[in-house]
Every structure is written in structure tokens, then in C-alpha cells.
Structure 1
Amino acid sequence: MKKVLLILALVSLVGCKPSAEKAVELGKSEVAADVRDPDSVKFRYLRFIQGEDSPDGAIVGYVCGQINAKNGFGAYEGFSPFLMKISMKSKGTFSKGVTYSVTEKKIYTRFSDPVPASYKDNCGPDE
């Protein structure tokens, strides 16, 4: 009987909330889609900063990091910070898939300029 209860408990956890790794994966694909050469994109300092859960059970937070991609001349431009606000919700109890929506996406293209306060407030320092 105990084994049956243990198995049922483990099965019920299979499709729980989306993970931070899934958020970062979705963030990378969304941000890469906005550059001239998506195949050339390099990322660093990637992280997911989780906010409060929404009333409908979705996980809301920011995917932050730095991106470097090739420009029109084929040269890398240098790393620039980016942030993307994402809301994710599991598709179902036994599904690893998620439905998501992006409500804010910003790539700060001039890294030599001071990073805006909104980036630092939402993402913290890059490490």
C-alpha cells in the first residue's frame, strides 16, 4: 500500500510548474529571433528572476543576461544586456510543455552607455 501511495505521489509531481531552465531556454530563442543573424548569437550571464505567481497559476519573471551577435558586416558587436518578461503556465499535469507569453523584451544595444535602472532593478548585477 505504501508503495502505491509513493508511486502516485511521484506521478502527480511529473508535470508541475515550469522550471527556471525552461524560462531561460525560451528566453534565448525569443531574443535570438530578434537579431540579424540568429545562428551567430552568443549568450552569457543567463538567469531567470522569478516574480510573484499570477492568480491563474502562471509563473511570471524576467530572463536576463547578455547577448552578442554578428552585425551586417559579419563582425560581432560585443555583449549587450537584455531582459525579457515572461509568463509561463504548464500545459497539463502529465505534460512537460508550457504555454508562455512575452510581455516585455528589450535588448540594450549600447553597452558602453550606462545600463538603465530598469535593467538593474529587475535583473540585478551581471556576474
Structure 2
Amino acid sequence: MKKIICIVFVLMAVGLIGCYFYVNSVDEQALIDEAKNRVLLEITTPDRIEFSGLQFLPNDYAADEKISGSVCGFIDAKMPDGTYAGKIKVAVRVKSNGENIMAGRALIALIGLPDSYRYEAKWQELCKGYEPE
């Protein structure tokens, strides 16, 4: 009986060690790249928006979240007829559990619109440290 209990504990220990190494072997840069791509796909409107200067700004690292941060940047918006419509500030909160990217809703504010002040403070909070390229 003692042998069986020892074998069970050894197998559990090996399993826990294997899980630890698997979780810590996730390629952080690949996750960041996937986050950027996911954000681009979620925000893009065909033939209307061109992106410039998107950056990933990591801001939280926790045991249950492998990566957490914001994708920030500006978008040059164009009307369907091709005329320039202005700059749009973009901030997207991104979280990852080490395997899946979970992008939050895009926070988009058209600079100069009457209600853009509502988004400005949140954008500043999420995009602290943003430096245009």
C-alpha cells in the first residue's frame, strides 16, 4: 500500500514540474505579435482605415495572466470616397493566459469630436509610455 502511495506522489510531482516548464516555455514575443494581429483584424474596416505606429505596451504580469497590456496607436481614417477623415486614437486592452489572446473591445476616439474627451483620459491611462515611431 505504501508503494502505491509513493508512486502516486512521484507521478503527481513529475506532472506538476512538467506543467511548470510548459507554462514558462510560452514564447512571449509570439503572443505579443498575435495580440497585434488580432487587434488589427478586429479594428480593420476594408478600404477605410490605414494603421500607423501600433505598439504593444505590457503593463501587468501575473501568475494567472501570462501577458496583459494595451495595443496603442493612431489610425489615419479615410472616407469611402478616399478623402482624409482625420486621426483616430486607438487603445485595445489585451490579455493572454499563455495560450490564447483575449482582446478587449477597442477604445476608439476620433480626435476633435465633441465626446472625444471621454476617451482621452482612458487612452492616456492605457497608453502611458506610448511613443510614436
Distance 1:126 1:15, change over 3 A: closer
**SS of alignment partner, residue 84 of structure 2:** coil
The aligned counterpart of 1:117 is: 121
1:55 equivalenced with 2:63 (yes/no): yes
Among all aligned residue pairs of Structure 1 and Structure 2, give the percentage whose two residues are the same amino acid: 21
| Whole-angstrom distance in 2 between the partners of 1:101 and 1:57 | 11
- Tell me which stretches of 4 or more aligned residues in structure 1 moved more than 4 Å: 12-15, 111-115
Q: Is the 8 A contact 2:93 2:126 kept in 1?
A: no
Question: How many Å separate the matches in 2 of 1:40 and 1:65?
Answer: 16
**Partner amino acid for 1:60?**
S
Query: What amino acid sits opposite 1:122 in the alignment?
Result: L
State the distance in 2 between where 1:19 and 1:100 align.
7
Whose Rg is larger? 2
Q: Deviations over 1:29-86 (max 9, x none)?
A: 2111xx4xx2442112211111212432431110000012332443231221110001
Partner of 1:104: 105
Count of residues in Structure 1 that have an aligned counterpart in Structure 2: 105
- TM (norm. structure 1) is 0.64
CA distance in 2: counterparts of 1:66 and 1:29, whole angstroms: 15
Does 1:26 pair with 2:38?
A: yes
| 2-structure distance, mates of 1:111, 1:66 | 14
Contact 1:48 1:63 in 2 (8 A): yes
Which structure: greater helix fraction?
2
Change (3 A) 1:116 1:43: same
- Map of 1:3-22 to 2, 5 A cutoff? 15-17=26-28, 18-22=30-34
- Per the alignment, in what secondary structure is the counterpart of residue 38 of structure 2? helix
Q: Which runs of 5+ in 1 are unaligned?
A: 1-11, 92-98
RMSD of aligned alpha carbons:
2.8
Output the TM-score relative to the length of structure 2.
0.61
What residue identity is the alignment partner of 2:111?
Answer: R
Mapped to 2, the partners of 1:104 and 1:111 lie a distance apart of 21
Deviation at 1:25, TM superposition (A): 2.0
Q: Classify 1:107/1:122 alpha carbon distance in 2 versus 1 (closer, same or farther; 3 Å).
A: same
